[in-house]
Structure 1
Amino acid sequence: MLAAMSANLYALGAIALWATLASLGVALKHVPPFLLTGIALLVGSLLGLPFVLKDRRQWAIPASTLMLGVYGLFGFHFLLFIALRHAPAVEANLVNYLWPLFMVVLAPLFLKGMQLRGVHVAAALLGFAGAAIAILGARDAADAGTGWSWGYLPALASAFIWASYSLLTQRVAPFPTAAIGLFGLVSGLLSLGCHWLLEPATVLSSRDGVLLAVMGLGPLGAAFFLWDKALKLGDARQIGILSYLTPLCSTALLMLVSGRALSWSIALAAVMIIGAAVLGTRGK
């Protein structure tokens, strides 16, 4: 009982930090995405150093586990930042937050002993309908242009990456939570290498530095450690249900920061996506 309560608190902490990610990404949209991802992940990886200095074995993990961590941390955030640059931010954020639904629908493909039932199919259809309303509803927004943007595709891809990463961590050999710092370190160095090869040099302001530090220590740092700790201590189904608070909090904060009024299409899409994710967990 105590472990379950602790797990839920860890999950809520991660959710609160992730709710700030989209807003920070928009505030730093002038920073090249590889550079942004690299710096933030390197800052976040520093949170794992105290554990490693105490016991170096904390980072002694198989190469396959490290590759999985890089796939999740680097792939997810890079695609999300790309989406926020090339699609209306609120709509892209909602599409990205199909990842809780993907976790439910894809679970039978990644984990043994789970089946996809009719309720899961219904949840998937409801969730994708919500995403479609979010995308098409952008036509009514002043900053949406024609309503469609290719930026929705990386938003969808980032959702798949995070869902599959979260599921696959349950298939690999158990690893210490401190190894999340190694995931961030390697992913950050890889991103900076891509920046050096593919992106123009950029001068960052002191404001950029502060925002990058906040992003690295929060949604791209501590949130990963909290999420991993929650999954290790608690019931993944309960934690998954709590994670559906993330799109609601994130979208509300993003709209508040951008000064954008809540439209009927965004409100309906948010209700449908969150409702679909909750419905998907009902088919045990």
Structure 2
Amino acid sequence: MTRSRATAIGFTAVLMWALLALFTIGSAPVPPFLLNALCFAIGGIIGLIWTARRGFGVLRSVSWRVYAFGSLALFGYHALYFSAFRLSPTAETGLIAYLWPLFIVLLSGLLPGERLGFWHILGALIAFAGAALIVLGREQGGEGSALGLGLAFLCALTWAGYSVASRRLGAVPTESVTVFCLVTAALSLAVHLMVEPTLWPQGVFGWASVLALGLGPVGLAFFTWDVGMKRGDIQLLGVASYAAPLLSTLALVAAGIAKPSVAILAAAVLITTGAALAAWASAKRVKSSDDQSLL
């Protein structure tokens, strides 16, 4: 698989995450951890179908340490995310939680064979400014708390760390994400039974929203993201991830849940500019490497 194709596959995860807010709203009143359990169970079923192509023997070749790492990362990210918003349901919490693409770009410079350039960092900062316009422009009630903001920061670090570490686990088959999903579903169900009331989706639309979440944003997306992180352009994917809050808002506008605004247009310009800078920097690096190989 080529680097560009893996990058394109990884970006499909960003497109799917853009529908996360829309389907989450449609899944009300399901509490967070029950929703997590349902969605990751569906994602695990998708993984079993994915794995069946190569045979389930491929899962036996993966170390239990990798399974523990991936499962705790997926569960930990969502646990921190939900807890952060319960303690601090503010736009600032969302903005801090969305630092993970910037952290991916910065941490990628520590990976062997990767080189972090000035234009990657500038592109990430410009795209982050665009995401900030979207997140801070959302109407959210409630008061913030230092603990909630701190959990949001840990949430961003958790996802960035998992994504970058996936690159170091390049030899581990993507089928391992199947186990990550199933274990996360089991852990989420256990937490739900301990701390949440059981409220099921309402009507056909509610169940359809849960199914859509499990098939896409909280299912297949983790498999395609794994491909992108292991074999694609990690800096470009990090910057391009800022398209998620923009596309999410556009999806809400299309559904009539949110209203169009000048801020959305400005955010689109900033995110597109940031992604273009990162893409240009990556293309320039590839060309430079090709030129040196010819010498």
**Partners of 1:11 and 1:226 within 8 A in 2:** yes
Q: d(CA) in 2 for partners of 1:114 and 1:57?
A: 28
Deviation at 1:243, TM superposition (A): 3.5
Partner of 1:226: 224
User: Which deviates the most, 5-14 or 163-172?
Assistant: 5-14
Q: What does 1:125-204 correspond to in 2, within 5 Å?
A: 126=126, 133-134=133-134, 137-138=137-138, 143-145=139-141, 149-150=144-145, 155-172=152-169, 174-204=171-201
Q: d(CA) in 1 for partners of 2:261 and 2:93?
A: 15
Deviation at 1:103, TM superposition (A): 0.7
Q: Give the letter for the 1:226 counterpart.
A: T
User: Which deviates the most, 66-75 or 191-200?
Assistant: 66-75
Deviation at 1:20, TM superposition (A): 0.9
Deviation at 1:31, TM superposition (A): 1.6
| Counterparts in 2 of 1:183 and 1:32: CA distance versus 1, 3 Å | same
Q: Give the letter for the 2:160 counterpart.
A: A
SS at match of 1:48: helix
In the alignment, which of 260, 263, 266 is matched to residue 262 of structure 1? Answer: 260
**Partners of 1:14 and 1:223 within 8 A in 2:** yes
Q: Give the letter for the 1:176 counterpart.
A: P
**Partners of 1:180 and 1:225 within 8 A in 2:** yes
1:92-123 C-alpha deviation (Å, 9 max, x unpaired): 66654432222112223x52466766656656
Deviation at 1:11, TM superposition (A): 2.4
Q: d(CA) in 1 for partners of 2:137 and 2:172?
A: 43
Partner of 1:23: 22
Q: What does 1:32-51 correspond to in 2, within 5 Å?
A: 32-50=31-49, 51=51
Deviation at 1:134, TM superposition (A): 5.0
SS at match of 1:261: coil
SS at match of 1:187: helix
Q: d(CA) in 2 for partners of 1:7 and 1:198?
A: 40
* RMSD across aligned positions (CA): 3.6
Q: Give the letter for the 1:40 counterpart.
A: C
1:218-271 C-alpha deviation (Å, 9 max, x unpaired): 111111112222344433344445444333322211333353223344544554
Q: Give the letter for the 2:73 counterpart.
A: G
Aligned residues: 276
Q: d(CA) in 1 for partners of 2:247 and 2:67?
A: 30
Q: d(CA) in 1 for partners of 2:82 and 2:21?
A: 8
| Counterparts in 2 of 1:125 and 1:238: CA distance versus 1, 3 Å | closer
Structure 1: where are the runs of 5+ without partners?
none
Q: Give the letter for the 2:223 counterpart.
A: F
Q: What does 1:52-91 correspond to in 2, within 5 Å?
A: 54-81=55-82, 87=89
Deviation at 1:170, TM superposition (A): 1.7
Structure 2: where are the runs of 5+ without partners?
286-295
Q: d(CA) in 1 for partners of 2:203 and 2:4?
A: 40
Deviation at 1:280, TM superposition (A): 6.2
| Counterparts in 2 of 1:54 and 1:126: CA distance versus 1, 3 Å | closer
Q: Give the letter for the 2:260 counterpart.
A: L
**Partners of 1:241 and 1:278 within 8 A in 2:** no
TM-score (norm 2): 0.74
Q: d(CA) in 2 for partners of 1:155 and 1:273?
A: 22
Partner of 1:98: 99
Q: d(CA) in 1 for partners of 2:9 and 2:160?
A: 18
Q: Percent identity?
A: 35
| Counterparts in 2 of 1:8 and 1:127: CA distance versus 1, 3 Å | closer
TM-score (norm 1): 0.77
User: Which deviates the most, 195-204 or 2-11?
Assistant: 2-11
| Counterparts in 2 of 1:24 and 1:253: CA distance versus 1, 3 Å | same
Q: d(CA) in 1 for partners of 2:265 and 2:37?
A: 33
Q: Give the letter for the 2:75 counterpart.
A: F
1:128-158 C-alpha deviation (Å, 9 max, x unpaired): 65566556545xxxx4447x64566655543
Deviation at 1:56, TM superposition (A): 2.8
**Partners of 1:37 and 1:78 within 8 A in 2:** no
Deviation at 1:7, TM superposition (A): 1.9
**Partners of 2:133 and 2:267 within 8 A in 1:** yes
Q: d(CA) in 1 for partners of 2:69 and 2:253?
A: 33
